[in-house]
Amino acid sequence: MSNSKEEWRRNSLDPATARFPQRQESFQTDSGIDIDPVYTAEDLSDSKLDYLKDIGFPGEYPYTRGVQPNTYRGRIWTMRQYSGYATAADTNERFRYLLDQGQTGLSVAFDLPTQIGYDSDHPLSQGEVGKVGVPICSLEDMETLFKDIPLDRVSTSMTINSTASVLLCMYIAAAKRQGVAQSQISGTLQNDILKEYIARGTYAYPPRPSMRLVVDVFKYCAEQVPRWNSISVSGYHMREAGATAVQELAFTFANAIAYVRAAIDAGLNVDDFAPRISFFFVSQNNLFEEVAKFRAARRMWAKIMKERFGAEDPRSMMLRFHTQTAGVTLTAQQPDNNLVRSAIQALAAVLGGTQSLHVNSRDEALGLPTEESALLSLRTQQIIAHESGVADVVDPLGGSYYVESLTNDLEARAFEYIDRIDQMGGAVSAIEQGFQMREIGESAYQHQQQVDSGQRVVVGVNQYVADEIPMGNLLSVDAEAAQQQIARLQRLRNERDGTQVTAALSRLEQVANGDENTVPAILECVESYCTLGEICQVFRNVFGEQQQMPGI
């Protein structure tokens, strides 16, 4: 019997004596971390991090094993399938169908014009209305979107950034028309503008005035909408653009640090707003690295909030996050393979302790999810929750030599990146210098080289290729839906009180030029039936319009 890992390696893996040679492949995680054939306590004893101290217990600082002591034994994660297409009425129908099938929360996908602040009849909106999400131009659309859905009994996540404060006000006003006070609504606003400059591109204004809008939402929600998560700091889109797991952690937390610092500089006490900060991560194919990433993320955030910002409320240190499986891994070739990919990714998110989850559908590399494929994605979550047994114990992989070693490595490497960004003056300065974009671009290039060379196997794409079987019916958005949306918008403009609209927009311009919180003025505009495009044009006139970022 071997007495040490090194002795075992010499006895068993020496090329001169090994009975079974290794495969000729690279044994690394997606972040380039070398993977040993076996892990023991020796791999943790010399770690840069105190393994025994930092693993702790669930519900206790630094929350490596979970922010709640019982996690899914207390409540299963929120099953929140991302939906939105064609019109508000069409999306409302999909929402109600999924809720009837057991979905436990809503997640709204907005079309591209809505994301960047244009009405459906704007020239730049042509060809994009309702294609990748639902068009929301006014309070009337928001009311239709949530018709017959009680907003005091369902939580809603809205993936929206440059126009986040406007959509939040529309949601508040729609709830008010249902008789639901803003203090009663619950949900999450993505409101993470910095990652738009890094990876996604749906920005409207320059970074610094955009940060003001983010902080205005922090202030307003802390005072008026206490059950609402005022931001969901997102690593998802950076990872989809080609970031590694290490970069996803580092750039997400660098952005979060910038938001917290901006809020404190604006006069907020950290413990007044930090408990409502949430996060949004991806879950990719490398199951163990993804589990370790989520565990490292909890520990990193706890340390950042306690050590950097002096938070005292334990809730300020608890990282709560939504997970979506990886759209970038879905293939048009052999699309049924995507069912397996998404199931593995969903399992990693659950093993990592996510609070809510969206599972992508098998047909998303080809089109919007059909009702059938969306239901199958929901069923994937339900089977993991109720049939697999993984929800019966908190942090089931905790204590694994491999998982703990990966957790430590990911944390250490991510903090090294954050130190580099700190030296550049923080996330905003680094973005203005194009740093994150260049780093992600290099990682994406290396990944594609590995796929093209066959070093990284993608089943059905560069190995195990087969004759294609037709996918069957795909969901397509009828061009008539866009025309219906435009007609409704034009009718609204003709029927509303023009004097009231002009007065509300004038008041918003005055506030934007000063230093008052913009949210109350936006809410006044929304309730006067000003359109999204009209409100955003006021901000464009005052703040300017952001052109392409450096490094992209």
In a domain, 258, yes or no: yes
In a domain, 280, yes or no: yes
Give the pLDDT score at 550.
54
Domain that holds residue 428: 51-75+138-453
Give the pLDDT score at 30.
86
In a domain, 478, yes or no: no
Task: Give the chain's residues under pLDDT 70.
Answer: 1, 15-26, 45-54, 469-471, 476, 548-552
Q: Which run of H or E residues covers position 383?
A: helix 371-387
In a domain, 154, yes or no: yes
Distance CA 428, CA 196 (A): 12
In a domain, 214, yes or no: yes
Strand pairing of 82-83 and 277-283?
unpaired
In a domain, 63, yes or no: yes
How many domains is the chain built from? 1
Phi, psi of 106, deg, nearest 5: -110, 150
**Do 202 and 112 contact (CB within 8 A), yes or no?**
yes
Supply the pTM of this predicted model.
0.92
In a domain, 458, yes or no: no
Domain of residue 218, CATH code: 3.20.20.240
Tokens of 5: 């890992």
Residue pointed to by tokens 């913009």 = 518
Report CA 71 to chain centroid distance, whole Å. 21
In a domain, 514, yes or no: no
**Do 481 and 130 contact (CB within 8 A), yes or no?**
yes
Beta bridge partners of 282: 324
**Sequence-separated (6 or more) residues with CB below 8 Å from residue 270:** 260, 263, 264, 305, 309, 310, 311, 316
Strand pairing of 106-109 and 156-159?
parallel
